[in-house]
Chains A and B, each alone.
Chain A
Amino acid sequence: MNRNNIFIHIALALVLILVAAFAGQLSRWRKQLKTNVRIVPAAEKKQPTSAEEIALSETRSFGRPEVLVKFKSGVSRATIESLTSRFNDRIEDNIENVAGLESIDDLDNADAGTVAAQYGAMPEVEYAEPNYDIELDEVDNPLVPILPHDPQFNDQWALANSGQRGGKQGADISATLAWAKTTGSEDVVVAVLDSGVDYTHEDLAGNMWVRPSEMDPYHDEELGTVDDLNGYNAIDGNSDPMDENGHGTHCAGIIGAEGENDLGIAGVNWKVQIMPLKFMNAGGFGTTKDAIEAINYVIDRKKAGVNVRIISASWGSTQKSRALEDVIRKAYENDILFVAAAGNASTNNDRSPHYPSSYDVPNVISVAALDRHDQLASFSNYGAKSVAIAAPGKEILSTWLGNQYEEKSGTSMATPVISGVAALILAENPRMSVDDLRKRMMDSTDPIVALKGKTVSGGRINAQKALK
């Protein structure tokens, strides 16, 4: 090796050392950035100052709201300008490299999430989302609201109450923050014990339970073998739980209408398995005996290996049945939560019990209904000792027969909200016992003044808290 070669090799070695050192520093910087980065809506930059502002809901924005809207290809500039001016918005910037992507200012200071949902619902829009700033922070990542693009989501005040139709902003179950942790799991099965479910509804079909091919069909000593591929009909003792009323389909949609599928609404769970059970007829009523048969079916399927952990029961009467109580207790022994409507007679269940919600069985959780103003719904039963919890239950939009959507009211509608939150908890905590699940629900409420002395928990369920 001559002297020139030695110098070349030394120079190369120095360059390599410098490159390695620089790469190491880059890696440290990147790591630091990952640790400290947090994503916040741009509108959150200006922090709330008054108590009233602080009390506003999690999706409320402060300062200038911004949304990023991607219009579909072919939508003209004139149309975009017309749409934005109709909402008193201003196009702030055009993102040149993504055709149709616009940054839009809302001049009315409306909530960025609401504005995004409004744009997202337009047929001309491919998607819309709040404009998130990425900034360095010393704290852990806060949850960022997740807003689905289901076109009627903005009407689902129970999930995200932005004050639509004069409601109280934030009077909701904080679903959008809960979804930052989980949107549900297809491993969780919720039995909707009702008038059946329209399992062909386009917003439900993908979340319907189907008996696994390796599992034996249901066998009953009196009925023989029932091919329960799609659920169970206790009225006729057969395998078709098709809803002829609409009530069960409505409840099913609240629990688990498919989320982010560009159709209708989003359920509390975007992904879940709904096991349809029919014991109420086209009129919306049924017999205690058929309810018992259907619960017996659920327990059988649980024992056969189906991960059915929740029975949602949006029904009842003032008549006590020891047999019904016994089968619900049997469900408890099989680790199944029983969520029951408190009733709609505006009465105190402590004095005039309503069943099955008033059974003193550890897996029963009785549900009262709230309106969009965080008031106990005028029709709702209550009970400081006997009604456990409250959830939105008035003017609730959900799925209906024939691929339709309707608004309905009742503790029937509040019940599946609670069932849905229970399913979210199980999605995150699959092995949680029914006792712990019920306790988690009771510990996960927002105190509501109107519920003081009216329910055991005195609060409205908060799905985000439930996923702590």
Chain B
Amino acid sequence: MSINKDGAVQNARTDLAKRLNIDPADVKERSVEDSDFPDMSLGAAEDGEMSGQMITPGWRIRLEANGQTFEYRADKNQVRLYKYKGKNYRI
């Protein structure tokens, strides 16, 4: 199913709240911007993952919680958490 920008932001907020074990209302939206990512895993490949090397348009979502900033990357097919504790996650 295709994901839109609002849906991607919502998925990201829910995911971050769950990871940090906080109320979703405590997750602040810092910025959401259109972005071209270098590949089809949005430059955030998980371990053991290969992706098409095609420039992929999507959204860079920056959220703030517990005084820290977290970056999510999304396109119509997926939402990913970028470099969370040194690793990438597809949610």
Contact = CB atoms under 8 A, between A and B. Distances in A.
Contact of A247 (B43, B45, B49, B54): B54
Contact of A412 (B41, B43, B52, B77): B52
A313 to B, nearest CB: 9
A123 interface: no
Contact of B40 (A283, A289, A342, A346): A283
Given A283-B40, A319-B49, A343-B39, 4 more contacts: A282-B77, A321-B48, A408-B55, A413-B54
Contacts, number: 97
Interface in B47-74: 47-56
B4 interface: no
25 contacts: A195-B52, A245-B52, A279-B50, A280-B51, A283-B40, A284-B77, A285-B49, A286-B49, A287-B48, A288-B49, A315-B51, A316-B50, A317-B39, A317-B41, A317-B50, A319-B45, A319-B49, A343-B38, A346-B38, A409-B54, A410-B53, A410-B54, A410-B55, A413-B54, A415-B53
B40 A285 contact: yes
B50 A286 contact: yes
Interface residues of B, number: 18
Interface in A343-371: 343-346
Contact of B41 (A282, A285, A413): A285
Contact of A314 (B54, B55, B78): B54
B40 A280 contact: yes
3 nearest CB pairs, A to B: A284-B40, A344-B38, A410-B54
Choose among B45, B48, B54, B55 the residue with the greatest number of A CB atoms under 10 Å from its CB.
B54
Given A247-B52, A317-B45, A408-B55, A283 B77 contact: yes
A341 interface: yes
Q: How large is the interface on A (under 10, 10 to 19, 20 to 34, 35 or more residues)?
A: 35 or more
Contacts of A247: 40, 52, 54
Interface in A302-321: 314-319, 321
Interface of A: 194-195, 245, 247, 250, 279-280, 282-289, 291, 314-319, 321, 341-346, 379, 408-413, 415
A280 B50 contact: yes
Secondary structure type dominating chain B contacts? loop
Contacts of B45: 285, 317-319
Contact of B51 (A317, A321, A379, A415): A317
A364 to B, nearest CB: 15
A61 B3 CA distance: 50
A289 B52 contact: no
Contacts of B52: 194-195, 245, 247, 280, 284-285, 314-315, 410, 412
A109 B77 CA distance: 48
Nearest to A195: B52
